[in-house]
Amino acid sequence: MAQDVTPDPYADPLRFGQRAQLLRERRGMTQTQVADLLGMSPHTYRKIENGQLKAPGLETVIRIAEVLRVRNLAELTGRPETDVDLFTGPGHPRLAAVKAAVDDFALTRADTAVPPSAAGLDARLRAAWRTRHASRNHREAIGALLPELIRDAQTVVRLADRAPERRAAQALLAEVYALAQFFLAYQPDASLLWRVAERAMIAARESEDPHAVGVASWLLAQAHRDSGPRHYDTADTINREAVRFLEPLLPDAPVEVLAVAGALEFELGYTAARRRESGTAWRHWDRASGMAARLPAEYAHPVTSFGRAVLGAHAVTVAVELHQGGESVRQAARADRTAIRSRPRRARHRIEEARGYQLDNQPDVAVASLEKAYEAAPETIRYNGYARAILLEHLESPRAPRRRRAAELAGKVGLLSA
């Protein structure tokens, strides 16, 4: 039974070929297109898919995974032991310092140290979010701030004497962990991301603060969804529970709670789109759009970026995840990306736009969108798996101008040296 569940592609080339065929068809590619990108004849590649040829070696397996934009090698091989994120970028130089702060459970500080105050920590956290949204290299900016923010937030919790103070301190700690999750996304330390996401959820629950609970749920659900299809149900459960928790509060909720509820509603649509459930995905987008309409016109939530301006970008994401190339291009044309003030969020939208143009067989426009993503926030594209995969594909383009543009951008983001 175990062999049926996790077949060995090297022992059973037909199983490997079937997986390759399924992944290729999901991408809407022909065997000839894949063969061209692999540098082999269509006849040879056809034999790989139909099991007539011995399964390829590791180097070719990885190249097939890159061409098919497989995010994890296990998706192609069917072997859990090959659980490797192919497009996770190299670790940021500040990753070690952030990890050390997360893992630091010192119970005392030096006697000469001035204990941090909750008010001071809150002010620094607000400033850190503003810095993130305004910075082209946002990981560098917040990575420099996070170690002390994490340690001081832990200290503020430890020093809180009364229950109200402790709950407020836990809300601050949860939000500091939320900021850390934005730094840790696409970094090569999945266990650290999970520790931070779970600690944020625990701190948010301890705080009993609706906003903190909503933000922690939003991020924890994303962590599950991005772990693959087996975790979609868990992502939905977390999202729905948070929506139910916030729903009674919404008639009189402050703007930040209403925005988090809208962000959670969209996330339900995002996961539905990953499942290719078109009606459900757009229904949740419609609900999120209705909630955004209740927010001030220029409002953008400091953590989720949710607001009226981001709804167009969300529509592009839904269409892309549904593999609706034409619809994603139409939504991209309607979206007002200049209204997205956050540089990293604007860059993320450009990457989603590029995915849409790629699906719609407009590769030159896809590369142009990635160039615009780089202009907005280089560190967003540098660590984004989708962007890296698109660039990898066009590095092999038979069209010299496109290949040169892809190579130039790949060099800027460090892909060629990764």
95 and 72 within one domain: no
- DSSP label of 72: B
For residue 28, give the CATH number of its domain: 1.10.260.40
**Would residue 357 count as lying in a domain?**
no
**C-beta separation of 163 from 204 below 8 A:** no
* Residues in contact with 149: Cβ distance below 8 Å, sequence separation at least 6, in sequence order: 121, 124, 125, 128, 176, 179
pLDDT at 107: 67
Residue with tokens 């003030």: 341
62 and 123 within one domain: no
Instruction: Label residue 30 left, alpha or beta by phi (over 0 means left) and psi (-120 to 50 means alpha).
Output: beta
- Cα-only R_g, the chain: 22
46 and 133 within one domain: no
**C-beta separation of 132 from 123 below 8 A:** no
* Residues in contact with 278: Cβ distance below 8 Å, sequence separation at least 6, in sequence order: 322, 324
pLDDT at 367: 96
β-sheet bridge partners, residue 17: none
> How far is it, in rounded angstroms, from Cα 76 to Cα 6?
11
From first to last of its 418 residues, the chain has per-residue pLDDT tens of 333 333 333 344 447 888 888 888 877 788 988 887 787 888 999 988 888 877 677 778 877 887 787 766 777 776 654 555 555 555 789 999 999 999 987 766 555 468 899 999 999 999 999 999 999 999 999 999 999 999 999 999 999 999 999 999 999 999 999 999 999 988 888 889 999 999 999 999 999 999 999 999 999 999 999 888 889 999 999 999 999 999 999 999 999 999 999 999 999 999 999 999 999 999 999 999 999 999 999 999 999 999 999 999 999 999 999 999 899 999 998 887 668 999 999 999 999 999 999 999 999 999 999 999 999 999 999 888 888 888 888 887 888 999 999 999 988 988 765 4
144 and 40 within one domain: no
Element (H, E) at 221: helix 210-225
How many beta carbons lie within 10 A of that of residue 163, not counting itself? 9
116 and 173 within one domain: yes
136 and 60 within one domain: no
Tell me how many domains the chain contains: 2
Structural domain harbouring 143? 91-208
47 and 130 within one domain: no
102 and 34 within one domain: no
113 and 77 within one domain: no
197 and 135 within one domain: yes
pLDDT at 218: 98
177 φ/ψ angles, rounded to the nearest 5 degrees: -65, -35
**Would residue 45 count as lying in a domain?**
yes
Q: Which of 61, 82, 103 is the last residue of a domain?
A: 82
Q: Which of 185, 208, 231 is the last residue of a domain?
A: 208
**C-beta separation of 156 from 117 below 8 A:** yes
Which of 66, 34, 70 has its CA nearest to residue 49? 34
**Would residue 241 count as lying in a domain?**
no
pLDDT at 109: 59
Q: Which of 188, 208, 228 is the last residue of a domain?
A: 208
DSSP per-residue codes, 85-122: BTTPPPPPTTHHHHHHHHT---S---TTSPPPPHHHHH
pLDDT at 94: 94
135 and 184 within one domain: yes
Which of 297, 232, 239 has its CA nearest to residue 264? 239
* Residues in contact with 390: Cβ distance below 8 Å, sequence separation at least 6, in sequence order: 69, 354, 355, 358, 366, 367, 370
CA distances from 397 to 25, 34, 166, 373, 386 (A): 20, 11, 57, 21, 17
**Would residue 403 count as lying in a domain?**
no
167 and 69 within one domain: no
pLDDT at 113: 66
